[in-house]
């Protein structure tokens, strides 16, 4: 049963999401045509024997949910001894440099801020990838047409991906790009949580069982990370969000920060990217307590080390909502139901100290109805979540 939403996000956020959808589904085709034309003048190459490209131009949260499977791929019978090149979003670089560098031999980074608006940049990457590898694996469930084209031109023998969905691609274009792959892997539609989708994908890809029950970071890898001095008992707050319609009000965050300081007696550490500095300043201006502001001052590896020792994490639906359970750190994630069931909430079999808060008016609905309604996205206003809901969740966690 689909659910009618009474309080959609503000008009400007709805327009923002519509414009993103229009680009992903239609305008990206123009970039493809330009790159395809330029490649007509590119010299054919002979790829290196036993060369494998992993194309994963996704955000940090997606990478965290997938990264542990790379060990199984690297040590599999199917791809053992291959020369592996990782082609991913540049936001992944700090994590990979510190934790996962041994899983690939070469790296090619994609600037996602440029690739959607700079056709010359997009075409230059196409030239760099053209016929460089024998095999490409594109482990992305909601594929984009511009990256499907990269997969098509990068490998000469095998091109493998999820069958996936059409959330980020025009269905007509998807029929075209599906034909570019030599193998489309189906996953269990009843197991929609992203980690389980990856587990099925790599199980079928490698033809072997995957002994992995949850995403995780090896805590021994955290020991060498240089991080700023912090109090013994602190909470980490991520108030930013990539999409503003998924960002809870800074005033609300300030109220919760004050509750944490006064009622729980923990210090509060604000963390985020440089783009979140304004939000952090708003929280500090509205708060009645002293807060530690590290926004824009840390690498992602440092963020992970800081989160690992936190009492708990409070975050919007961002990368932090996936980093925390991978570190076994308690987490409260605020969700406006975007792709409900796929990324949030976490199944109890993966994380028992991970609470997902959604607006009150939706908590009486069955999970399967929420999944059906918001499987492809949500326009629900995240600020329907109240500060009382978050305070009740903090009491539920019983952090000492």
Among the candidates 186, 212, 238, a domain finishes at: 212
Residue 284 has which token pair?
Answer: 């500090």
Answer for the pair 240, 320: CB distance below 8 angstroms, yes or no: no
Q: Are 280 and 141 contained in the same domain?
A: no
Q: Which H or E run includes 94?
A: helix 93-95
Residue 87 lies in a domain: yes
Last residue of a domain, one of 212, 235, 265: 212
Per-residue pLDDT tens over the stretch 19-28: 666 665 667 8
Residue among 284, 283, 344, 296 nearest 316 (CA): 344
The answer to whether residue 9 sits within a structural domain is no
Q: What are the tens digits of pLDDT across the range 63-80?
A: 999 999 999 999 999 999
Q: Assess whether 208 and 242 both reside in one domain.
A: no
pLDDT at 193: 95
User: Domains in the chain: how many in total?
Assistant: 2
More confident residue, 133 or 377: 133
Shared-domain flag, residues 163 and 279: no
Cα 389 to Cα 112, 136, 356, 383, 385: the distances in Å are 35, 45, 11, 11, 7
CATH of the domain at 33: 3.40.50.2000
Contact 358, 386 (CB under 8 A): no
Do both 270 and 334 map to the same domain? yes
In terms of residue numbers, what domain contains 138? 29-212
User: For position 224, what pLDDT does the model report?
Assistant: 86
Tell me: do 283 and 203 sit in the same domain.
Answer: no
In a domain, 345, yes or no: yes
Instruction: Identify how many contiguous H helices and E strands the chain contains and give both numbers.
Output: 16, 12
Q: What is the pTM of this model?
A: 0.92
pLDDT in tens, 272-299: 999 999 999 999 999 999 999 999 999 9
Q: Residue 128 domain-assigned? A: yes
Handedness of CA 279, 230, 65, 50 (dihedral sign): positive
Whole-number pLDDT of residue 28? 80
Q: How much is the pLDDT for 24? A: 59
Judge whether residue 243 has pLDDT over 90. no
Look at residues 156, 181, 212 and tell me which one is the last residue of a structural domain: 212
User: Are 280 and 332 found together in one domain?
Assistant: yes
Task: For residues 271 and 379, state if they share a domain.
Answer: yes
- Does residue 289 sit in the same domain as residue 186? no
Residues 292 and 154 in one domain: no
In a domain, 151, yes or no: yes
């Amino acid at each position: 049963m689909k659910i009618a939403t009474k309080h959609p996000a503000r008009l400007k956020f709805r327009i923002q999401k519509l414009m993103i959808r229009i680009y992903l589904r239609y305008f990206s085709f123009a970039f493809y045509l330009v790159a395809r034309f330029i490649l007509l003048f590119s010299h054919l190459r002979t790829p290196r024997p036993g060369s494998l490209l992993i194309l994963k131009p996704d955000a940090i949260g997606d990478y965290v949910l997938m990264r542990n499977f790379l060990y199984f791929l690297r040590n599999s019978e199917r791809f053992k001894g291959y020369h592996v090149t990782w082609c991913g979003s540049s936001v992944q670089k700090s994590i990979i440099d510190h934790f996962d560098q041994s899983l690939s031999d070469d790296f090619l980074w994609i600037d996602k801020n440029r690739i959607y608006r700079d056709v010359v940049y997009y075409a230059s990457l196409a030239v760099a990838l053209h016929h460089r590898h024998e095999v490409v694996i594109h482990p992305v469930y909601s594929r984009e047409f511009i990256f499907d084209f990269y997969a098509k031109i990068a490998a000469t023998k095998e091109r493998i991906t999820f069958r996936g969905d059409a959330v980020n691609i025009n269905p007509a274009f998807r029929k075209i790009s599906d034909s570019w792959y030599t193998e489309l892997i189906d996953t269990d539609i009843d197991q929609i949580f992203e980690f389980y989708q990856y587990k099925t994908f790599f199980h079928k890809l490698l033809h072997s069982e995957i002994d992995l029950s949850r995403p995780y970071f090896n805590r021994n890898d955290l020991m060498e990370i240089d991080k700023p001095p912090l109090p013994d008992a602190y909470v980490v707050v991520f108030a930013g969000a990539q999409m503003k319609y998924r960002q809870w009000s800074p005033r609300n965050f300030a109220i919760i920060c004050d509750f944490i300081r006064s009622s729980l007696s923990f210090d509060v550490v604000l963390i985020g990217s440089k783009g979140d500095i304004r939000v952090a300043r708003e929280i500090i201006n509205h708060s009645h307590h002293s807060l530690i502001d590290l926004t824009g001052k840390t690498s992602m590896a440092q963020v992970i080390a800081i989160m690992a020792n936190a009492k708990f994490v409070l975050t919007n639906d961002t990368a932090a909502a996936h980093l925390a359970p991978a570190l076994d750190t308690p987490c409260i994630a605020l969700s406006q139901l975007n792709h409900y069931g796929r990324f949030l909430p976490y199944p109890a079999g993966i994380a028992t100290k991970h609470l997902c808060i959604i607006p009150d008016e939706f908590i009486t609905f069955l999970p399967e109805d929420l999944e059906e309604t918001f499987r492809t996205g949500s326009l629900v206003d995240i600020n329907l979540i109240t500060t009382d809901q978050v305070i009740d969740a903090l009491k539920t966690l019983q952090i000492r």
